[in-house]
Structure 1
């Protein structure tokens, strides 16, 4: 466990860029360019953390959650379903639709998942790269609840502990495991403090 946490925290310290308004850029290894060895270590850690849960699907949201979700799914041996932010001519049939507000993009998206891919027999592990205010996760939770799927847990690579998303989800009784929790960031110095 500690090896994956240390690996992720060290990488965030080395390559993460602290910007104004509480933005932490980790696009060189987590959500634009992907460090597969790092993601594999994170996937193994999520498998360890949720080894007691029956998991039949990994659910994430496009686009930046897909990379880590795929690696986690490989460790569980289950498919990944990702909520799409745009309707497409390739999507057909009944859909679950919810609205989310993106912290990073500062806009509201309709997100959709085909009813073919999440159902009442599923036991879902929600995976995402970041947790700030929790709006994206609220949307994924809404989709699972409408589908009647059991939410076995939520796995986050990096949680911003100074924003309300993690505390809110834990208070509501969700099993939330974050590999790195950032409690403070200083854009002037680039300093990152982990919990």
Structure 2
């Protein structure tokens, strides 16, 4: 997605060869116009997949997931990373390691918000090693639902997440695929020219 790649080039901060900071438009401050365009792209790519629900993980995936759910006309639910007093019974959970935070979290969703037989599109802001993606897929499988695919805003293609998901038989659609982070710049896999 050309506009997303341009935003990454203009406003993204390459903190290391592993870390890209996009707080100015995705992870802290959110650009709603860009999210609407991202949602359109995901809607277009998954329009024939029979999506009945969107699932994401707090917090960076919420904005693109919500806009995509709005575009597709389906509900969106997000997995919580911290246990809430109100989320104490009838839950499904999985362990997820975060490279960025360098910690393992238990992600949780109320069973009533993921139903057996649903076709779930998992949306997330980043794909790196695939830990969050596989954790979310475990939630879907525990619910008796089916993962229809993964919609990734920014993929770090130099890390193994994409290949691991493909090897597991999942469909992966990434809007910006980063080949490398080096010398303060992001280089893209097959940059979009249109």
Deviation digits for residues 112-148 of structure 1, max 9, x if unmatched? 1111110112110000000000101110000111111
Separation of aligned partners in 2, 1:19 and 1:140: 27
Structure-1 separation of matches of 2:164 and 2:133: 11
Q: Distance in 2 between matches of 1:161 and 1:16?
A: 17
Range with bigger deviation, 84-93 or 35-44 = 84-93
Provide the TM-score with structure 1 as the length reference: 0.95
- Residue 93 of structure 1 deviates from its aligned partner by 2.5
Q: Residue 83 of structure 2: SS of its match in structure 1?
A: coil
Residue 81 of structure 1 deviates from its aligned partner by 0.6
* 1:26 corresponding residue in structure 2: 22
> Is residue 2:108 matched to residue 1:119?
no
Distance in 1 of aligned mates of 2:80 and 2:181: 31
Residue 115 (structure 2) pairs with residue 140 (structure 1): no
1:52 aligns to 2:48 (yes or no): yes
Cα RMSD, aligned residues only: 0.9
Please tell me whether residue 71 in structure 1 is matched to residue 42 in structure 2.
no
Q: Who is 1:80 aligned against?
A: 76
- Secondary structure of 2:150's counterpart equals strand
> Which deviates further from its counterpart, 84-93 or 65-74?
84-93
Q: How many correspondences in the alignment? A: 189
- State the alpha-carbon separation in 2 of the partners of residues 87 and 13 from structure 1: 36
SS in 2 for 1:28: helix
- Give the Cα–Cα distance (whole angstroms) in 1 for the partners of residues 95 and 17 of structure 2: 23
Q: For residue 192 of structure 1, what is the aligned residue in structure 2? A: 186
| Residues 153 and 175, structure 2, Cα contact 8 Å, conserved in 1 | yes
Equivalence for 1:109: 105
Deviations 1:144-170 (A, max 9, x none): 111110111100000000000011101
Q: Equivalent residue of 1:78, what SS?
A: coil
Gaps of 5+ in 1: none
Return 5+ residue gaps in structure 2 as ranges: 190-194
CA contact (8 A) 2:17 2:180 kept: no
